[in-house]
């Protein structure tokens, strides 16, 4: 069976979470870099990685890499790659995205058109034809130039993996599903612990937590570009991966996950999205102001994405909002709180320095994941948790 190299991009600062996920699937890590991980696997890794990985944006099948500082070198380097091993004679192929960082070649549109010409030249020679019908399956190519090193991959995914398929109803500036899942996996939360999101928006944190707790694979209910690559991936491998995902679901679990928001529309959107994700029975959503946040049980988790004061809200409202967060947290004796925000003065107005602070880039926006660690539950309660 052919061995392939795959590239899985992720948010800067969350590489360790993705690495753990890939290792858990049983694949070998080749390289960990800022914002991406390279690993190896057979063709079934295309199916399993797309269906099971929660924290990557897409899975790229690596075609090759080379050095290029001129467009001639880019053309020749692209032409040398074994495109005929991947793209059939009737395949529809194009460079869907070119990213250039600290490289002499920096015009995405020029990079895209030169690489397409080089691919055509290579395939003309290999297939002995002058014109391509391009009426078969899609083969979108993505290329990254970093310090003049060109890395070329076929996009096996299509629409980004954060598009699980459940988020039909949205509110303004929602957190992406992949980022929400990665942040939850950074915490010690598990399905036996309480989780509350007091700014739940369209429900992403509670829904991702419920899917993690019930072991529901995030890519189960969507399609992928590479499903049509039957010359590389037998259909059976997709069926096997879906069967594996179905078998892994914990169907009888109960969880205490709650999503609150002051907005009626947000709660409506959350409930609809949870229903589409088939986890609505595991989450309680309620319209509730932050000031009313309380819980009778101990050792719970707040995991949330409060307003930042950028794009959305009046900056002058931020101090009061973060003071309210601090007050609400103070009243939850023995809880842990994890919040992601771009608001620089968050700790100051919360009134307490975070135990841990992790810098994470959400797109181009620098955000901080503040981690306030509550005490661990006593051993007896832990035993009870494990027995559930």
Contact residues for 56 (Cβ-Cβ < 8 A; gap 6+): 8, 9, 10, 18, 21, 37, 49, 161, 178
**Dihedral sign, Cα of residue 193, residue 51, residue 150, residue 40:** positive
Q: Residue 174 has which token pair?
A: 């929602």
pLDDT at 309 over 90: no
pLDDT tens track for 223-277:
999 999 999 999 999 999 999 999 999 999 999 999 999 999 999 999 999 999 9
> What is the per-residue pLDDT for 388?
53
Write the pLDDT tens digit of every residue in 9-34: 999 999 999 999 999 999 999 999 99
**pLDDT bracket for residue 48 (50, 70, 90):** very high
DSSP strand pairing (283-287 vs 257-261): parallel
Residue % of the chain over a pLDDT of 90: 88
Strand partners, 113: none
Q: For residue range 144-174, what is the model confidence (pLDDT) as tens digits?
A: 999 999 999 999 999 999 999 998 887 776 7
* pLDDT of the residue at 270: 96
Provide the residue ranges of all domains of the chain, joining segments of one domain with +. 4-100+107-155, 177-216+225-387
Cβ 294 vs Cβ 331: under 8 Å:
yes
327-371: pLDDT as tens digits: 999 999 899 999 999 999 999 999 999 999 999 988 788 999 999
Q: What average pLDDT score do residues 112-139 get?
A: 96
Please report the pLDDT score of residue 365 as a whole number: 86
The reported pLDDT for the residue numbered 379 is: 76
To the nearest whole percent, how much of the chain has pLDDT over 70? 96
Residue 7 CA to residue 320 CA, distance in Å, equals: 43
The pTM for the full model equals: 0.94
Position 313 scores a pLDDT of 56
Strands 149-155 and 60-67: antiparallel
Residues 189-208, mean pLDDT to the nearest whole number: 96
The rounded distance, in Å, linking the Cα atoms of 14 and 264 is 32
For residues 196 and 256, what is the distance between their CA atoms, to the nearest angstrom?
8
Burial pattern 11-44, b for ≥16 Cβ within 10 A else e, equals bebbbebbbebbeeeebeeeeeeeebbbbebebb
Burial class of residue 136 (count of CB atoms within 10 Å of its CB; 0-12, 13-18, 19+): middle
Decide which of 3.40.50.2300, 3.30.2130.30, 1.20.120.450, 2.130.10.10 is the CATH code for 4-100+107-155.
3.30.2130.30
Q: What share of the chain is helix, strand, coil (3-state, %, to 5)?
A: 35, 25, 40
Its CATH architecture, for the domain 177-216+225-387, is: 3-Layer(aba) Sandwich (3.40)
**Residue 170 confidence (pLDDT):** 77
pLDDT of residue 308: 76
pLDDT score of 385: 54
């Amino acid at each position: 069976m052919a061995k392939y190299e795959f590239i899985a991009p992720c948010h800067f600062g969350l590489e360790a979470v993705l690495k753990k996920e890939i290792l858990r699937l049983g694949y070998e890590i080749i390289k960990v870099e800022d914002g991406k991980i390279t690993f190896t696997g057979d063709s079934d890794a295309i199916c399993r990685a797309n269906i099971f990985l929660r924290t990557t944006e897409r899975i790229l099948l690596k075609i090759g890499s080379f050095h290029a500082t001129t467009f001639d070198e880019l053309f020749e380097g692209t032409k040398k790659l074994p495109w005929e091993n991947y793209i059939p004679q009737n395949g529809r192929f194009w460079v869907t995205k070119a990213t250039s960082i600290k490289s002499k070649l920096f015009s995405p549109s020029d990079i895209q058109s030169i690489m397409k010409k080089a691919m055509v030249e290579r395939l003309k020679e290999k297939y002995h034809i002058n014109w391509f019908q391009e009426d078969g399956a899609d083969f979108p190519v993505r290329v990254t130039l970093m310090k003049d090193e060109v890395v070329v991959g076929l996009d096996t995914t299509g629409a980004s993996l954060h598009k699980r398929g459940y988020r039909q109803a949205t509110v303004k500036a929602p957190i992406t599903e992949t980022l929400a899942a990665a942040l939850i996996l950074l915490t010690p939360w598990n399905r036996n612990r309480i989780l509350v999101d007091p700014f739940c928006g369209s429900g992403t944190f509670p829904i991702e937590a419920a899917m993690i707790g019930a072991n529901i694979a995030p890519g189960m209910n969507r399609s992928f570009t590479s499903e049509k690559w039957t010359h590389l991936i037998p259909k059976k491998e997709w069926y096997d991966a879906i069967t594996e995902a179905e078998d892994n679901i914990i169907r009888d679990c109960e969880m205490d996950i709650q999503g609150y928001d002051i907005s009626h529309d947000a709660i409506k959107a959350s409930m609809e999205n949870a229903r589409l994700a088939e986890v609505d029975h595991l989450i309680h959503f309620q319209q509730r102001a932050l000031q009313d946040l309380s819980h009778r049980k101990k050792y719970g988790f707040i995991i949330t994405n409060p307003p930042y004061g950028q794009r959305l809200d009046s900056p002058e409202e931020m101090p009061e909002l973060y003071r309210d967060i601090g007050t609400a947290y103070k009243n939850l004796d023995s809880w842990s709180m994890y919040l992601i925000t771009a608001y620089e003065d968050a700790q100051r107005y919360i009134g307490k320095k975070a135990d841990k602070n992790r810098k994470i880039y959400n797109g181009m926006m620098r955000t901080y994941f503040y981690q306030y660690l509550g005490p661990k539950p006593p051993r007896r309660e832990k035993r009870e948790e494990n027995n559930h």
